[in-house]
Amino acid sequence: MPQDDDVWRLVDAKRDLLIALSDRVWGMPELAYAERRSAAEHAAVLEHERFRVTTGIAGIPTALVGEAGAGGPVIALLGEFDALPGLSQEAGVAEPRPVEASGNGHGCGHNLLGAGSLLAATAVKDYLAEQGLPGRVRYYGCPAEEGGAAKGFMVRAGAFADVDIAISWHPSSFTGVKDATSLANTRIDFTFTGRAAHAAAAPHLGRSALDAVELMNVGVNYMREHMPRRARVHYALLDAGGIAPNVVQARATVRYLVRAGDLIELTPLVEWVREIARGAALMTQTTVETRVISAVSNLLANEPLERLLHDTFLRLGPPGFDEEDGGVAAMF
């Protein structure tokens, strides 16, 4: 096992390079599946550190893998770099101050997530090389964590088929091993199609898709009383059909996000939501089409690995804070 000073020496040797990467990604916030500049920045650093880089994993332009070393186990470190809409923010300021009104921003810290994982991959790669140990270290650049579930498509394409261990992390207010509590979930768009008509002169000729969305929302709201305790259902109206109230809206789309503790709980809930959508279509004499946007399983705990990570955290101790850190904390 490496000594603590070996760990920090190898990390500190590349810290400035990876902090600069994090800052660059912060300054170019890009949404799910559109992280072209951010992915290119990660690929450039991987190539600089002599990783063998493969892009376009699973047919996704912004998914990439950097590998170094040979033989031995395959050690994967997962990084992300997608941003969130509407969270544009000036760096180093502890109050809302957008750089661009309604612009994107890294409110979830994925600029740190990707750079931190890449720094870890670089340190492990350098340690194996120094010690002459076998092993392949891979950095997985995983796009679209925020609602896109790109990792699922990467798994389906076999990108993790020969991996022996995969580790991820996320910026947080504490240092420690997170419980495997992520819920299974799926996002589905429900698009209702009716028939347009003048709402005053000929309302009897119209069939309102917007009415169907409203009835679906009411039905799902009544469903909530009878769901398992860990389940959640959220929705967002993507297309209300228009802004003219004197027109019967012929098309409307609502996106539903259904969450549950595990796939066993999730599957019947998703079918229930689908049945409610079909019922809303029947009541309004419209039709409904569904499109699955993403779907992920719940996390499965790896207890031996979690215990090892926890023991390592205890041995290394918490991060140190200087006066500058204290000044930032005082602003909150």
pLDDT single digits (tens) 25-69:
999 999 999 999 999 999 999 999 999 999 999 999 999 999 999
Together in a domain, 128 and 253: no
Strands of 251-260's sheet, edge to edge?
232-239, 251-260, 184-193, 287-296
153 lies in the same domain as 272? no
Q: Which residue has the tokens 């891979």?
A: 138
Instruction: Kindly state whether residues 10 and 129 are assigned to the same domain.
Output: yes
Confidence of residue 142 (pLDDT cuts 50, 70, 90): very high
Judge whether 220 lies within some domain: yes
The pLDDT, as a whole number, for residue 249 is 96
- Give domain status of residue 109, yes or no: yes
d(CA 154, CA 159): 5
Residue 110 lies in a domain: yes
- Does residue 328 form part of some domain? no
Inside any domain, residue 320: no
Identify the CA nearest to 212 among candidates 109, 146, 281.
Answer: 281
Residue 4 confidence (pLDDT): 61
Q: Once rounded to an integer, what is the mean pLDDT over residues 207-222?
A: 98
The whole-number pLDDT of residue 291 equals 97
Q: Does 158 lie in the same domain as 26?
A: yes
Domain boundary among 118, 139, 171: 171
> Do the Cβ atoms of 142 and 63 come closer than 8 Å?
yes
Place of tokens 């920045």: 41
Same domain? For 76 and 213 the reply is no
The pair phi, psi for residue 74, each rounded to 5°, is -100, 115
Q: How many domains does the chain have?
A: 2
Note the Cα 275 to chain centre separation in Å: 28
Q: Which amino acid is at 318?
A: P
Q: What is the pLDDT of residue 3?
A: 59
pLDDT digits (tens, 9 = 90+) for 278-330: 999 999 999 999 999 888 888 888 889 899 999 988 888 888 888 888 887 77
195 with 111, same domain: the answer is: no
Q: What is the CATH number of the domain that holds 290?
A: 3.30.70.360
In degrees rounded to 5, what are phi and psi of residue 130? -60, -40
Q: What span, in angstroms and rounded, lies between the C-alpha atoms of 139 and 24?
A: 18
Sheet containing strand 52-55, strands side by side: 52-55, 64-70, 135-141, 74-79, 165-167
State yes or no: pLDDT of 2 exceeds 60: no
Q: Which of 171, 200, 223 is the last residue of a domain?
A: 171
Q: How far apart, in whole angstroms, are the C-alpha atoms of residue 286 and residue 149?
A: 31
Residue 235 sits at φ, ψ, to 5 deg, of: -150, 160
> Does 145 or 283 have the greater pLDDT score?
283
Angle between helix 4-26 and 36-48 (nearest 10): 150
Q: Are residues 54 and 127 in the same domain?
A: yes
Q: Is 128 helix (H, G, I), strand (E, B) or coil?
A: helix
Report the percentage of the chain scoring pLDDT > 70: 98
DSSP state of 204: G
Three-state secondary structure call for residue 231: coil
Average pLDDT rounded to a whole number, residues 119-142: 95
Which residues touch 48 (CB under 8 Å, ≥6 apart)?
17
Domain boundary among 111, 144, 171: 171
Residues 89-109: tens digit of each pLDDT? 998 887 889 999 999 999 889
Exposure string over 166-175, b if 16+ CB within 10 A, otherwise e: bebbeeeeee
CATH number for the domain spanning 144: value is 3.40.630.10
Structure tokens belonging to residue 63: 């998914």
Cα separation, 214 vs 219, whole angstroms:
9
Does residue 302 sit within a domain?
no
Q: Tell me, what's the pLDDT at 78?
A: 97
Residue 198 in any domain: the answer is: yes
Strand segments, DSSP code E, in 71-226 are 74-79, 135-141, 165-167, 184-193
152 & 213 share domain = no
126 and 18 assigned to the same domain: yes
How far from chain centre, in Å, is Cα 173? 19
> 3-class DSSP state for residue 189?
strand
Instruction: Determine the average pLDDT of the residues in 122-127.
Output: 95
Tokens read off for 117 = 């994982």
DSSP state of 179: P
The whole model's pTM is what?
A: 0.77
Q: Do residue 12 and residue 53 come from a single domain?
A: yes
Band of residue 180 on the pLDDT scale cut at 50, 70, 90: confident
> Which range marks the domain in which residue 154 is found?
4-171
Structure tokens at 57: 């994993």
CB 111 within 8 A of CB 170: no
Same-domain status, 29 and 70: yes
In a domain, 310, yes or no: no
pLDDT at 6: 77
**For 149, left (φ over 0), alpha (ψ -120 to 50), or beta?**
left
- Residues 254-288 have pLDDT tens digits of 999 999 999 999 999 999 999 999 999 999 999 99
What is the average pLDDT across 246-259? 97
Residues 85 and 234 in one domain: no
